[in-house]
Chain A
Amino acid sequence: MTERPLVLGIETSCDETGVGLVRGGTLIADALASSVDEHARYGGVVPEIAARAHLEAMVPTIERALDRAGLRHRDVDAVAVTAGPGLAGALLVGVAAAKAYALALGVPLHGVHHLAAHVAVDTLEHGPLPRPSVALLVSGGHSSLLLVPDLATEPVVPLGATVDDAAGEAYDKVARLLGMPFPGGPPIDAAARDGRADIAFPRAKAGDGTFDFSFSGLKTAVARWVEARHRSGEPVPVADVAASFQEAVADVLTAKAVAACRSQGVDTLVIGGGVAANSRLRALAALRCEAAGIQLRVPRPGLCTDNGAMVAALGSLRVEAGVAPSPWDLPATSTLPL
């Protein structure tokens, strides 16, 4: 029996240099280098710092993934890479590297969509995805609801997206407001555990009939509330603010995700992206999906954030479906449409 093709996946759309190796539906190894610490003092990802870090980390991260798998370069049967969307300079490093590996090894190149890869990674843990499914992707860079027909052969269809800040961005900004470090997701999640979600922060666009989100107004509302406390000389109940903010985010995201499943007649919801690691989002999604008879699939946190395994997973689906490879002049497209 011949072995199924081994696909090397490369992800560099933001601040993580991710490399994954997938054979068939199985994750063989992955490796990650992150420049997140270098960005922390700037309160957000600095594109030039991220791009420099990718160049430095690219080859060593690939070597590490291969070492972990006990494989050599020549065992690779295809190379997949995030072609967009993302930071232009960062994407370019990964795309150029992927082309060089594919060209040097004489194997096909597959440029893939970052958001589709976030969905595809779930197949490594929970097997093939029912067609169609709905995906909610939430991170510092994106907040999208997608209809997912066939991951390998059909483009995902956008149902809605944030009209301003991404959900993760709102977490970062609110965290800064509360004196917490970047990225803001983990510290807010931790603080919220001891708090009561009893401050009525707004749910923008809730029940407006669209599948779009807006988090900019929420962030401003939190800022105004905290400021009013400062002015009146009262202490800021950090845990309560964190819990109430988090509740507002999770409420809108899960309500719209469930509504999207209903409107599409779909009974499977996949949640991915860094914010999928958020405990309240997971809990509320589980509750609401259960009530609506929707099967909820959430990959483990390590696979929710940007990584190479997700790119390898989608590349693997494409290779096995016989999809034509990408040309050598594949561009890195920061605003790649779905």
Chain B
Amino acid sequence: MLVLALDTSTPACAVALVELGALPVDPRRQADRAPQDQAPQDQAAAGRALFEWQALFERAVWDARRHGELLAPLVAEALAEAGIRPPDLAAVVVGAGPGPFTSLRVGMVTGAAFGAALGIPVHGVCSLDGIGTVTEGPVGVITDARRREVFWARYQDGTRVGEPGVGAPAAVVAQLRASGATRVTGPGVALYPEVFAEFGHSADRADRADRADGADGADGPLVPGSPAPAVLVRCVAADILGGRTPAPLVPLYLRRPDAAEPRPPKTVTVAG
């Protein structure tokens, strides 16, 4: 099954095309499996469905303000490079945030529209899972929420514990400390290095960044630690392969919109 995956929850505009298959599989395919794939026995041990996956395309372009311009060309490029026509796609996976609202919506509406146009399911996944599910041990995943705050979630051996949150870095540190996290990762960490200094930096993602760096003439590498869309596909692989209807696509804003109710009409003669 061919799956298109998108994430625009960070300054990275990230697109992947993933071929997903249930195991057992053709041995020839086994040999092609991406090196970072989990061994089937690990998946079984983790109680997940057995599947194989291969990223046919995975690329990110870093520009916090231009997701709306960058995403569609990147999707077109992915399809062209992998030799895939849109009707060949079986599902869409999209990072549902949390992330800065404007860029987040670009990815979400693109995923939703792509799925609707093709009549295929669209699975929303917490974007932080695109980082957290490939970590080990007790780890906090941190991304930039702007306004001197971060989005965060805690993972235990690659499984998210609880819902993602938003808060001031110092407050998040206190919660992570209380939850027993020993390491942090994600693009939000580097923005507040002193605040997160007490934690070790999770290095689980370094290999991914290296791999993408070497990818064929990419516009830019996968930003180290930004949500990897191919990983998002793995998060819902069992649902996709099982043909389960996805839950409605809901963006994880975690904040109310800024809006103030107007004051009573002012007295113009006094106010000028």
Give the B-binding residues of A (Cβ under 8 A). Answer: 41-44, 46, 48-49, 51-52, 54-55, 58-59, 62-63, 73, 88-89, 92-93, 95-101, 103-106, 176-177, 220, 223-224, 227, 327-332
Contacts and interface: CB of A to CB of B under 8 A. Distances in A.
Interface of B: 66, 68-73, 75-76, 79, 85-86, 101-102, 105-106, 108-114, 116-119, 251, 253, 257-262, 265, 267-269
Contact of A328 (B76, B106, B108): B76
Contact of B109 (A49, A55, A223, A331): A55
A92 B104 CA distance: 11
B105 A89 contact: yes
A105 B120 CA distance: 13
A49 B66 CA distance: 21
Contacts of B76: 103, 328
A42 B259 CA distance: 7
Interface centre among B105, B108, B110, by most chain A C-beta atoms within 10 angstroms, is B105
A106 B86 contact: yes
A55 B108 contact: yes
Contact of B101 (A89, A177, A328, A330): A89
B118 to A, nearest CB: 5
B105 A73 contact: no
A51 B86 contact: no
B86 A48 contact: no
B72 A48 contact: no
Contacts of A97: 109-110, 112-113
A275 to B, nearest CB: 21
Nearest to B250: A56
Given A43-B262, A103-B86, A330-B69, A48 B257 contact: yes
A91 B119 CA distance: 25
A103 B116 contact: no
Nearest to B117: A104
Contacts of A49: 257, 259
A48 B79 CA distance: 32
A327 B68 CA distance: 12
Nearest to B73: A328
B157 to A, nearest CB: 33
A52 B257 contact: yes
Nearest to B251: A55
A62 B85 CA distance: 22
Contacts of A92: 68, 102, 105-106
A89 B109 CA distance: 12
Contacts of B108: 55
B69 A48 contact: no
29 contacts: A41-B261, A42-B259, A42-B260, A48-B257, A52-B105, A55-B105, A58-B113, A59-B113, A73-B118, A89-B105, A92-B102, A92-B105, A93-B109, A95-B68, A96-B109, A96-B110, A97-B110, A97-B112, A99-B110, A100-B109, A101-B117, A103-B76, A103-B79, A104-B86, A104-B113, A176-B265, A227-B269, A328-B72, A329-B72
Nearest to B8: A96
B254 to A, nearest CB: 13
Nearest to A107: B117
Nearest to A46: B259
Nearest to A223: B268
